[in-house]
Amino acid sequence: MNAGKPSPKSSFGFTTKVVHHAQDADAETGAVVPTLSLATTYKQDGINQPRGGFEYARAQNPTRAQLEQVLAGLENAQFANAFASGLAALAGLMSLFEPGDHIIAGDDLYGGTVRYFNQVLAKYGITFSYIDTANLNAVERAITPKTKLIYLESPTNPMLRLSDIRAICKLAKARNLLVAVDNTFATPYLQRPLELGADVVLHSSTKYLGGHSDILGGALMTSNALLYEKFAFNQKAVGAVPSPFDCWLLMRSVKTLSLRMERHCENALAIAQFLQQHEAVKKVYYPGLPTHPSHDLAKRQMPNGFGGIVSLDLGGRAEVEAFIKELNIFTFAESLGAVESLVCYPWEMTHVAVPIERRLQLGLTEGLIRLSVGIEDKSDLINELEQALSAVQTAVAS
Ligand SMILES: *Cc1c(COP(=O)(O)O)cnc(C)c1O
């Protein structure tokens, strides 16, 4: 195993791959679990003679190098770079751009992404147009001679809107633009944007890839060697890299990604169907429902399932308060993508920084709740939601 060694494409099925890809038994000891290497510096055999490519741990570390191969394998990429968080990975991606460059970004992105664009990068002269990337004509109209990148999420947070990644990549290729997709919500179990033509995939591995609410991490995956080199330079020059232990934990987590996603999707679909027929629920957002505006695209683009996030609208804040009070298994907390079910209130939590008019335009009302459906027994989850919705009806009636 070498720093920066490209990861071979594997012909295994995805679930075999997440268990085995780049996780062979250790050549020396036979250990079936990766070695955790904590050293920050490495003995060199002479001037300019580092062993195995390792000199200093900010630039590269054996545990991180192995994780990067594991992560590359997930997205069928040649390369991956691991970062200390999803936003650190975003900063690595954005280090490609210069003052004057223009970026087309989705209009329903993760709040921290928009904060980084508007409150950090804008100061350095990079400009952004926020466009509904589900609308190809709108994307095309937004392209200027200075445009360098189209940056999008699909499905989005928390409205679960989809964009046609293949169509956007085709449009971008014709104009020589890069496309980067934040694949945090779907995970490579459901959708692999590089195979649809994207140049870079970004992950917050804090979410599904980690899956247990105990690792902060991020990654960039690409098959473009030039981009990979630039991201590796950013890791070394900026140093927003994960600790070896977090890398090790993430390799452990990834082995159950398929199993977890399968259950997340199964539970989320059952919950979305249950919510849709309940009269206390005004609206349900889930790409797996035939009523979702992009259901056909979802079936094509995410053939293995529709993800673990369900959003619902209860009509108002009082209803949300009554609902949340009744929940036990669903923990009221930010974040998503872990084994335990979580519930969050975007209006006051994740989307406070989004202007109110903009929130309402998106359908992100004061009655909107986002569920990150965990892997518990779905009957328990549905029973609990049923009780909470009864409480809402009682509260509203009184
Ligand atoms: C959480 C999240 C991020 C940011 O990742 P961190 O690991 O919290 O820095 C980026 N994009 C999406 C879609 C996320 O959910």
Do 388 and 368 fall into the same domain?
yes
Ligand 1, atom 2, residue with closest C-alpha: 204
Catalytic residue of the set 58, 115, 230, 317: 58
Counting the structural domains of the chain, the total is: 2
**Last residue of one domain, picked from the residues 254, 270, 299:** 254
Q: What is the CATH number of the domain that holds 40?
A: 3.40.640.10
* Amino acid at position 158, single letter: P
Do 246 and 306 fall into the same domain?
no
Q: What integer is the mean pLDDT of 250-261?
A: 98
Cis preceding-peptide flag for 193 (omega within 30 of 0): no
Do 134 and 274 fall into the same domain?
no
Three-state DSSP string of 325-389? HCCCCCEECCCCCCCCCEEECCCCCCCCCCCHHHHHHHCCCCCEEEEECCCCCHHHHHHHHHHHH
Do 333 and 247 fall into the same domain?
no
pLDDT at 182: 98
Global confidence as pTM: 0.95
Do 19 and 33 fall into the same domain?
yes
Do 188 and 126 fall into the same domain?
yes
Q: What is the CATH number of the domain that holds 292?
A: 3.90.1150.10
Pair type for strands 218-222 and 283-285 = unpaired
What CA–CA distance (Å, rounded) separates 205 from 122?
Answer: 26
Candidate from 85, 200, 207, 250 with most ligand 1 atoms within 8 A of CB, to mutate: 207
* Amino acid at position 221, single letter: M
Q: Indicate if 313 belongs to the active site.
A: no
Q: Indicate if 58 belongs to the active site.
A: yes
Domain interval for residue 103:
14-254
pLDDT in tens, 192-247: 999 999 999 999 999 999 999 999 999 999 999 999 999 999 999 999 999 999 99
pLDDT at 7: 45
Ligand 1, atom 8, residue with closest C-alpha: 86
Do 112 and 149 fall into the same domain?
yes
User: In which residue are the tokens 């169907």 written?
Assistant: 273
User: In which residue are the tokens 């990067």 written?
Assistant: 68
C-alpha pair distances (Å), 269 with each of 156, 243, 306, 346, 383: 17, 36, 8, 21, 15
Candidate from 71, 206, 350 with most ligand 1 atoms within 8 A of CB, to mutate: 206
Does some domain include residue 5?
no
Do 32 and 173 fall into the same domain?
yes
With a Cβ cut-off of 6 Å, ligand 1 is lined by: 85-87, 110, 112-113, 153, 157, 182, 184-185, 204, 206-207, 216, 218
Percentage of residues of the chain with pLDDT beyond 90: 91
**Cβ–Cβ under 8 Å, residues 105 and 111:** no
**CA 97 to centroid of chain Cα atoms:** 22
Q: What integer is the mean pLDDT of 35-55?
A: 92
Do 235 and 287 fall into the same domain?
no
pLDDT in tens, 278-325: 999 999 999 999 999 999 999 999 999 999 999 999 999 999 999 999
